[in-house]
Amino acid sequence: MKVFLTRRIPQEGMKILSTGGVCEVSLWDSDEPVPRAELLKGVQGAHGLLCLLSDKIDAEVLDAAGPNLKVISTLSVGYDHLALDEIKKRGIRVGYTPDVLTDATAELTVALLLATARRLPEGVEEVKNGGWSSWKPLWLCGYGLSGSTVGVIGLGRIVPFGVKRLLYSGRTAKAYAAEVNGEFVPMDTLVSESDFIVVSCSLTPETQGLCDKAFFSKMKNTAVFVNSSRGAVVNQEDLYEALTSGQIAAAGLDVTTPEPLPTNHPLLTLKNCVVLPHIGSATYSTRGIMAALSANNLLGGLQGKDMPSELTF
């Protein structure tokens, strides 16, 4: 059976595919995204497709693949790049990589939150550019987590650092929230009462543009906003306005629209906005495990067997 990989993936995944004796692999042999024309060509006649979150898998790709396609395995937990309605219509199975990247993403989210709240990039810059003249009582002061209220939109696993209250919102209350004394509250309560807001929900039609002018206007002026979900959950013009008007204190973003964010983007001119290049799951070991899981998902789907992580939709 023929499979097409839209990118080079870590060797943990390549090894599984090349030694399984199940499929013949062809790939876009690069670390950069596959051009659309190459994707449409490469997928032709494939039984399996292993893709990344930067590949838009829509009706055009599925039509180009043709009727052989049995399984799509994405090397990501997010699946907003997949046209699930079209995939379902064609009876194609989908594998993804939940759980294995949760810890790495939670670590990065906390690191981003602290870097933003405690102004680390500004501090590093001042050391390099000679702005560090002496120890000064209020210079580079920020906001601490201790004693604060943290609000999480889409509760995942976050290290609470002795925070006073951990609020979360979503569609349903979570039993595991009890482990971190999480209180399930309406979104408005979370937005207005939190000192730190962490967005870690999936991108869906309901969450698209969720963090907009009205959202930011309900936040405390001293609150710090962090997004490690998907860029499109945030209206970036409204965020820029909130950051420059003093409506909110600071923002840390691991995800943006578009990606990469153009280097002349207004958000990059702000000292109170820290932008990272979508590195939530970027540890060597996590990416290796994701690659192996996506390869095993692909093999399971090709052979009509159980997939270790199959998306139900």
Task: Give the contact letters, 24-63, x = binds to ligand DGY (CB under 6 A), - = no.
Answer: -----------------------------x----------
Interatomic CA distance for residues 35 and 45, integer angstroms: 18
CA 52 to mean position of chain CA atoms: 12
In angstroms and rounded to an integer, the radius of gyration of the C-alpha atoms of the chain is 21
Question: Which residue lies nearer to ligand DGY by CB, 170 or 280?
Answer: 280
Which are the contacts of 179, defined by CB distance < 8 A and separation ≥ 6?
none
Would you report the helix, strand and coil content of the chain in percent, each value rounded to 5? 35, 15, 50
For 223, the token pair is 């609150």
Per the annotation, the verdict on 278 as an active-site residue is yes
Contact residue for ligand NDP among 42, 48, 170, 301 (CB under 6 A): 170
Look at residue 203 and give the partner it binds from ligand DGY, ligand NDP, none, a contact being a CB closer than 5 to 8 Å depending on partner kind: ligand NDP
**Between β-strands 149-153 and 273-275, what pairing exists: parallel, antiparallel or unpaired?**
unpaired
Check if the beta carbon of residue 305 is closer than 8 Å to that of residue 70: no
Dihedral (C-alpha) 251, 252, 257, 260: value to the nearest 10 degrees? 140
280 vs 158: CA distance, rounded Å: 13
Q: Would you give the binding string for ligand NDP spanning residues 233-272, x where CB under 6 A is met?
A: ---------------------xx-----------------
Residue window 64-103: x/- pattern of binding to ligand NDP, with contact defined by CB under 6 A: -------------xx-------------------x--xx-
171 binds, among ligand NDP, ligand DGY, none (CB under 5 to 8 A by kind): ligand NDP
Residue 227 and residue 209 in contact, taking contact as beta carbons nearer than 8 Å? no
DSSP class of residue 230 equals -
* Contact string 67-106 vs ligand DGY (x = CB under 6 A): ---------xxx----------------------x-----
DSSP at 82 = B
**Whole-angstrom Cα distance, residue 170 to residue 216?**
18
Candidates 73, 74, 149, 169: give the one binding ligand NDP (CB under 6 A). 169
Shortest Å distance, C-beta 146 to ligand NDP: 25
Catalytic residue among 47, 81, 265, 278: 278
Residue from 73, 281, 297, 309 touching ligand DGY (CB under 6 A): that is 281
Q: Taking CB under 6 A as the rule, does residue 156 contact ligand NDP?
A: yes
* CB-based contact 197:191 (threshold 8 Å): yes
Q: Cα 105 to the chain's mean position, in Å?
A: 8
294 makes contact with ligand NDP (CB under 6 A): no
- Residues that bind ligand DGY (rule: CB under 6 A) add up to a total of 7
Binding site for ligand NDP (CB under 6 A): 77-78, 98, 101-102, 105, 153-156, 169-172, 200-204, 206-207, 228-230, 254-255, 278, 280-281
Binding site for ligand DGY (CB under 6 A): 53, 76-78, 101, 280-281
